[in-house]
Amino acid sequence: MSAQAIDASVLNRPLVMCGPSGTGKSTLLATLFKDHPDQFGFSVSHTTRKPRPGEENGREYHFVDREEFMDRVGKGEFLEWAEFGGNCYGTTFAALTALHPKRCILDIELQGVLQLRAKAAQQTPPLNPVYLFLSPPSISTLKSRLSGRGTETEASIRKRLDAAKAELKYAQEGKHDVYIVNDDLKVAGEKLDKVAMGIAGWEECGDKLPELDLTELD
Ligand SMILES: Nc1ncnc2c1ncn2[C@@H]1O[C@H](COP(=O)(O)OP(=O)(O)OP(=O)(O)O)[C@@H](O)[C@H]1O
């Protein structure tokens, strides 16, 4: 545990990790979780896709059929949901509550962030997430990280770059609480640590969003 003052009230606020695919969210979160075991929790999402070998209901996902999923959508249980490739995916408010007293970390895409923004304040008790945007230092770095990861096809990289454009455009509106530029992994990691642990001064420890030319993503 850090010797610095911790703002306890902030730990009740879900931390929403935003940022384009390939910026380094998973890499930084893996270090955060390793450095602070049992302090944070990732919510288990619901999906209508079939479990893959080795996946367990309630661990990787809550696996449900479309009828149940839509029933839950109708009841307003999801803080965000979307359909990808013919399957539905979403996060319920209950999945967040289940993590208590661990601080909940959400890694969601722009559409999810927008839904969460619209619904969070209406919950009882109201949810007051901290929205953190992880920015690449440049568009060329983002591209090279995405292709360097070796996990994506050309088509999937194209899709991710299109989505990155929307993510970055939205970030430029200045609506996130904190921006961190992931240039040097260690420096970015220290900042994420401060924000996630709610260490006094976390709101001011971020970076200025770099001026990125989004046409480089065309
Ligand atoms: N600061 C950094 N310097 C150099 N390479 C980095 C840095 N941060 C991340 N990377 C590398 O960039 C690639 C993308 O990182 P990562 O998979 O964490 O991105 P992500 O934002 O979680 O993407 P997705 O949303 O698709 O899961 C990885 O190969 C990772 O090792």
Predicted ipTM of the assembly? 0.97
- Phi, psi at 87, each rounded to 5°: -120, 150
The answer, yes or no, to whether any atom of ligand 1 lies below 6 A from the CB of 145, is: yes
Per-10-residue mean pLDDT for the chain, 218 residues long? Answer: 65 94 94 94 93 92 97 95 90 91 92 94 91 98 94 90 96 97 98 95 96 95
CATH number at residue 79: 3.30.63.10
- Is the pTM above the cut of 0.90? yes
Tell me: do 35 and 88 sit in the same domain: no
CATH number at residue 209: 3.40.50.300
Residue 152 lies in a domain: yes
Q: Which of 31, 140, 145 to mutate to test the pocket of ligand 1 (most atoms within 8 A of CB)?
A: 145
Which atom of ligand 1 is nearest the CA belonging to 185?
1
Number of separate domains in the chain = 2
Residue 3 lies in a domain: no
The rounded radius of gyration (Å) of the Cα atoms in the chain is 17
Tell me: do 80 and 184 sit in the same domain: no
Tell me: do 36 and 51 sit in the same domain: no
pLDDT tens-place string over residues 115-135: 999 999 998 889 999 999 999
pLDDT tens-place string over residues 139-182: 999 999 999 988 889 998 999 999 999 999 999 999 999 999 99
**Which 8-state DSSP code applies to residue 40?**
E
Residue 55 lies in a domain: yes
Residue 175 lies in a domain: yes
User: Domain range for residue 141?
Assistant: 8-41+105-217
- Check residue 24 and give left, alpha or beta (phi > 0: left; psi -120 to 50: alpha): left
